[in-house]
Amino acid sequence: MKLIVGLGNPGADYERTRHNVGWWVVEAFARKFRIAIDTHEKAAMTGSGRVAGGAVMVAKPLTFMNLSGDSVRLLVNAYLDSTDDLMVVYDDIDLPLGKLRIRPNGSAGTHNGMRSIVGTLGTERFPRLRVGVGAPDRGKLRDFVLDEFAADEQPVIDRAVVRAVDALVLFARGDLRRAMNEFNKDPEEPAPPAPTTSDAV
């Protein structure tokens, strides 16, 4: 089984904030494969289904961000033999808006949710998918990540969520390397439309 965990904060006040992008990706993935996230267990909402021929569970921890590890540890202990089958999806202020970065392991960086997970699991060896949410020009970081995206930012993050779902499909297939190769690079810009006869000079 593969376990895909999206990080976020519970409650309507946080639903559309930058810090909840991990939840957005997991919810979009679940919709694509008609997985109902309707089971309350291990301090999370979970749903299970089959993707690319394999069993997949998606989860949204209901602990607040700083305690994400409490839920993730319970889920991992209950369902996985190896943390290699865990994918954590979360927001990252150190990446440009909409940029994806997939890694098989690594440090928690500045993200409190990841710090909690690394601390409770006792290892940095698990895949993660980071979604760039931009960085504040000034002011407090906490205020920035708990704010909503600006109107001109929303289309960028919406496209990133779609790409993140596609990357998770490859992870579900057991092809993390391909996911990294395809989605760690910037998406190709659409080609300009070919000139029509009326455009010719």
CA 89 – CA 168 distance, rounded (Å) = 9
Q: Which amino acid type is present at position 196?
A: T
Q: 184 CB contacts (<8 Å, ≥6 apart)?
A: 100, 101, 102
Residues catalogued as catalytic? 19
Nearest to 46 by CA among 35, 64, 58, 31: 58
Please classify residue 47 by burial: count the beta carbons closer than 10 Å to its beta carbon, then call 0-12 exposed, 13-18 middle and 19+ buried. buried
Q: Within 13 Å and on the Cβ side, how many CA atoms surround 10?
A: 11
Q: Which amino acid type is present at position 163?
A: R
